[in-house]
Amino acid sequence: MEETKTAQATLKYARISSRKVKIVADLIRGKNVDEALAIVKFTPKASSEIIEKLLKSAIANAENNHEMKHDKLYISEIYANQGPTLKRIRPAAKGSAVRIRKRTSHITIVLKERE
């Protein structure tokens, strides 16, 4: 049994909520890399810039480290997990304080070659 080659890129501690990343991730899952880049480029979301950069990194990893062909690549997996939350405090009325949660995420893209 021959193992299929995979290449991946991971971004840890991205200062964006994983919930916002998942919206764009769902759009490009299973697509060819060129099609995915086009989708990400024209999606007006905060996470699309981050995902575009990460996708380009994954493509570079595939071509340079794993000798995979660019035109056969597709996104087999893309997921965003929750990272640690930065807790900040904002003054509120009557001398109280409100906690602000600045969420982070870990984003992973896995590429495979189509047969």
**Confidence at residue 95, expressed as pLDDT on a 0 to 100 scale:** 96
Could you report the per-residue pLDDT of 50-106, keeping only the tens digit for each?
999 999 999 999 999 999 999 999 999 999 999 999 999 999 999 999 999 999 999
The answer to whether residue 13 is domain-embedded is yes
The answer to whether residue 1 is domain-embedded is no
**Confidence at residue 1, expressed as pLDDT on a 0 to 100 scale:** 54
Structural domains counted in the chain: 1
The answer to whether residue 25 is domain-embedded is yes
**Confidence at residue 35, expressed as pLDDT on a 0 to 100 scale:** 94
The Cα–Cα gap between 69 and 55 comes to 15
The answer to whether residue 64 is domain-embedded is yes
Range of the domain at 58: 6-113
Residue 62: give its domain's CATH number.
3.90.470.10
Could you report the per-residue pLDDT of 20-35, keeping only the tens digit for each?
999 999 999 999 999 9
The answer to whether residue 108 is domain-embedded is yes
The Cα–Cα gap between 40 and 53 comes to 10
